[in-house]
């Protein structure tokens, strides 16, 4: 997802945003109906990218392969290396979605803990429906699709495509059985392989729009892989048996703990004490410090025009300028011990720390701690675990993050501050630990314009009543994170893997 500011022209090609990670609809903002494919593709760019690095270099880029061809100068068919790379990434992503359900029991596949979540089987079906609806049905000659009624079951929110099953009732869909859904996925994988073979024989100018749409489908499936795990954690947390999804070195919790140790904890100051200052050596250069200072000034935000082949959603653009006053960001995410200090100091009982809507939400929902805390333990995808004081606190709403920052005598960073800081010098735990709340409402950048027709409503219409998160989380698939990515959720949402980094 993406940023904008400073009205101006779009300096990089755009991809239709697919903010599936919104709490408004976890299967949120796909492409749109087949008839509008061409208008959508006018705003897409093909990625030949290698997986995003956790501390990208150059900072935050989704870098193309060093040998990737300049498509603007390519005539004739698509280069074989381009087709082969896209085919292999497509196979890996599709295979990973199926791998995610391997630890589950059949009964788990229809688990839907709340209306905002979706069952694992539905995620597998919806991502397949996307490829069938927007690529295979209109573009692969002779394609025989699934039972047309399946479109009603697996359409997420596309009114222009047709009616859909009520989202809160997705957990009632015991049929089609998982065997039928997996067989359908295999047929679609075969169809996509055939489509790529056809595209490899076409002139690149003719094939490129569909190659771009395939790339968008890969990114869309990445989003649903993270959603599947988020939704599963919510569902399992409601079971008194406290089930385990996957433990051990290959499980998500191991990834979280590994990312947690990529920086030191920042000791917070309560409202009665000053925040920690930036340490300096005798010559004035900064030492190891809990804060990193940045001069600010007139900075550029958004995808770099020097990397036109890198994938980004349209809400990450256009690249634009913003003025930043001098600021400092914490060198690490706020940790559990610091959240415990906030609670001990009456943080959940002090209305002066909270926004009015947040205080009302706290009282209505009886919040007393982060979403999955259980006494001195924390519920995780590895089951109930002792809570580690030094690990970043997670599953916080924006309201909680904002109140904690205020209590600490600090604030949340703007998304422009976060992006500029990590472009200049990547911060520890910026990626692969937790999504980080910012103070920025989710709004279009200056100069942003949605794609023509109905496609445009599947991004721009969600730019209200939500806040931006930056970075990526331990649940985010490899290759999906980048510096300019704009995730977003309503301020009361807590089931995603979100934490916070302080600013001042």
Q: At residue 344, does pLDDT exceed 80?
A: yes
In this structure, of 128-142, 146-160, 410-424, the range with the lowest mean pLDDT score is 146-160
> What pLDDT does 387 receive?
97
Q: CA of 137: how far to CAs of 3, 339, 373, 447, in Å?
A: 33, 51, 46, 34
Which of 419, 359, 444, 395 minimizes the C-alpha distance to 61? 419
Q: What is the mean pLDDT of residues 59-65?
A: 29
Give the integer Cα–Cα distance in Å for 263 and 430. Answer: 10
Can you tell me whether residue 124 is helix, strand or coil? helix
**Radius of gyration of the chain from Cα atoms?**
22
**Lowest model confidence (mean pLDDT) among 58-72, 159-173, 360-374:** 58-72
Residue 161: its pLDDT value, please? 81
Burial category of 281 from C-beta neighbours within 10 Å (exposed 0-12, middle 13-18, buried 19 and up): exposed
pLDDT category of residue 92 using cuts at 50, 70 and 90: very high
Tokens representing residue 266 in the block: 């920042």
Going from N- to C-terminal start, the domains of the chain cover 1-504
Q: CA 329, CA 349: separation in Å to the nearest integer?
A: 27
Evaluated on CA atoms 11, 15, 21, 22, the torsion sign reads positive
- 121: left (phi > 0), else alpha (psi -120 to 50), else beta? alpha
- Mean pLDDT (whole number) for 416-427: 96
**Percent of the chain, pLDDT > 70?**
78
Which of helix, strand or coil describes residue 86? helix
Specify the length of the chain in residues. 504
Tens-digit pLDDT profile for residues 192-217: 999 999 999 999 999 998 998 899 89
Q: Distance from first CA to last CA of the chain, Å, rounded?
A: 25
CA 320 to chain centre: 22
How sure is the predictor about 116, in pLDDT bands with cuts at 50, 70 and 90? Answer: very high
Interval 69-73 mean pLDDT: 52
pLDDT of amino acid 310: 83
Higher local confidence (pLDDT), 47 or 299: 299
Q: What is the mean pLDDT of residues 269-288?
A: 35
- pTM metric for this prediction: 0.83
Per-residue model confidence (pLDDT) at position 313:
86
Mean pLDDT, to the nearest integer, of 43-47? 32
Distance CA 268, CA 406 (A): 11
What's the CA gap between 419 and 427, in Å, rounded? 10
Helix (H) or strand (E) holding 423: helix 415-424
The CA distances from residue 334 to 132, 147, 259, 439, in Å, are 43, 49, 13, 16
Mean pLDDT of 320-325: 98
482 near 62, Cβ under 8 Å? yes
In contact, 14 and 456? CB cutoff 8 Å: no
Report d(CA 237, CA 240) in Å as an integer.
Answer: 8
| pLDDT at residue number 5 | 27
Mean pLDDT of 329-358: 98
Task: Give 470's strand partners.
Answer: 436
- Would you say residue 432 has pLDDT above 90? yes
Q: Which two tokens stand for residue 152?
A: 């009603």
Query: Once rounded to an integer, what is the mean pLDDT over residues 184-188?
Result: 98
More confident residue, 379 or 4: 379
Fill in the DSSP letter of residue 35: G
The answer on pLDDT for 6 being more than 90 is no
Q: Which positions ≥6 away from 368 have C-beta within 8 Å? A: 343, 348
* The two structure tokens encoding residue 323: 């003025």
Q: What is the pLDDT of residue 55?
A: 29
The per-residue pLDDT of the chain, averaged, comes to 82
The pLDDT score that the predictor gives to residue 7 is 26
| Rounded Cα distance, 2 and 445, in Å | 8
Average pLDDT of the segment spanning 342-353: 98
C-alpha to C-alpha distance for 438 and 411, rounded to whole angstroms:
9
Choose from 33-47, 144-158, 427-441 the range with maximum mean pLDDT: 427-441
Handedness of CA 183, 184, 186, 190 (dihedral sign): positive
Which pLDDT value is given to residue 38?
Answer: 30
Question: What mean pLDDT do residues 72-96 have?
Answer: 89
Strand partners, 203: 77
* pLDDT bracket for residue 288 (50, 70, 90): low
| Model pLDDT, residue 289 | 75
How much of the chain exceeds pLDDT 90, in percent?
Answer: 70
- Chain segment 467-495, per-residue pLDDT in tens: 999 999 999 999 999 999 999 999 999 99
Burial of residue 25, with CB atoms counted within 10 A of its CB: 0-12 exposed, 13-18 middle, 19 or more buried = middle
Tell me the pLDDT tens digit for each residue of 236-258. 999 999 999 999 999 999 999 99
The candidate with the shortest Cα–Cα distance to 396, out of 348, 432, 352, is: 348
Q: What are the backbone angles phi and psi of residue 335, rounded to the nearest 5°?
A: -105, 175
- Please give the structure tokens belonging to residue 457: 């409503």
- Which of the residue ranges 145-154, 213-222, 274-283 would you say has the lowest mean pLDDT? 274-283
């Amino acid at each position: 997802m993406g940023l904008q500011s400073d009205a101006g022209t779009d300096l990089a090609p755009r991809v239709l945003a697919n903010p599936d990670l919104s709490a408004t609809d976890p299967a949120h903002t796909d492409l749109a109906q087949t008839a509008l494919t061409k208008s959508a593709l006018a705003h897409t760019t093909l990625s030949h990218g290698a997986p995003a690095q956790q501390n990208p270099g150059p900072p935050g880029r989704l870098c193309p392969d060093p040998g990737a061809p300049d498509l603007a100068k390519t005539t004739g068919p698509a280069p074989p290396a381009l087709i082969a790379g896209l085919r292999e990434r497509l196979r890996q992503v599709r295979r990973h979605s199926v791998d995610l359900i391997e630890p589950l029991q059949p009964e788990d596949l229809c688990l839907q803990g709340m209306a905002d979540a979706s069952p694992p089987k539905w995620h597998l079906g919806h991502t397949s429906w996307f490829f069938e609806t927007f690529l295979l049905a209109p573009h692969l000659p002779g394609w025989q699709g699934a039972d047309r009624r399946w479109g009603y079951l697996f359409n997420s929110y596309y009114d222009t495509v047709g009616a859909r099953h009520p989202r809160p009732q997705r957990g009632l869909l015991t049929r089609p059985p998982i065997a039928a859904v997996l067989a359908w996925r295999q047929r679609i994988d075969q169809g996509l392989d055939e489509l790529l073979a056809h595209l490899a024989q076409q002139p690149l100018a003719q094939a490129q729009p569909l190659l771009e749409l395939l790339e968008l489908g890969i990114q869309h499936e990445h989003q649903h892989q993270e959603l599947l795990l988020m939704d599963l954690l919510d569902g399992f947390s409601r079971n008194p048996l406290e089930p385990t999804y996957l433990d051990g070195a290959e499980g998500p919790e191991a990834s979280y703990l590994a990312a947690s140790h990529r920086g030191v904890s920042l000791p917070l100051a309560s409202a009665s004490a000053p925040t920690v200052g930036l340490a300096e050596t005798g010559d004035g250069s900064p030492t190891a410090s809990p804060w990193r200072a940045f001069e600010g000034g007139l900075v550029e935000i958004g995808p770099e025009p020097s990397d036109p082949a890198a994938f980004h959603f349209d809400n990450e653009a256009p690249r634009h300028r913003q003025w930043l006053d001098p600021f400092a960001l914490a060198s690490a995410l706020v940790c559990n011990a610091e959240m415990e200090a906030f609670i001990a100091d009456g943080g959940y009982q002090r209305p002066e720390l909270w926004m009015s809507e947040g205080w009302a939400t706290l009282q209505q929902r009886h919040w007393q701690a982060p979403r999955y805390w259980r006494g001195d333990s924390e519920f995780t995808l590895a089951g109930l675990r002792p809570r580690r004081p030094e690990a970043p606190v997670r599953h916080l709403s924006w309201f909680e993050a904002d109140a904690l920052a205020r209590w600490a005598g600090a604030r949340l960073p703007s998304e422009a501050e976060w992006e500029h800081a990590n472009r200049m010098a990547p911060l520890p735990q910026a990626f692969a630990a937790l999504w980080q709340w910012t103070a920025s409402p989710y709004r279009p950048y200056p100069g942003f314009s949605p794609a023509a027709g109905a496609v445009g409503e599947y991004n721009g219409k969600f730019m209200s009543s939500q806040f931006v998160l930056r970075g990526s989380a331990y649940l985010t698939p490899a290759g999906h994170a980048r510096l300019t990515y704009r995730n977003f959720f309503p301020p009361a949402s807590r089931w995603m893997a979100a934490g916070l980094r302080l600013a001042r």
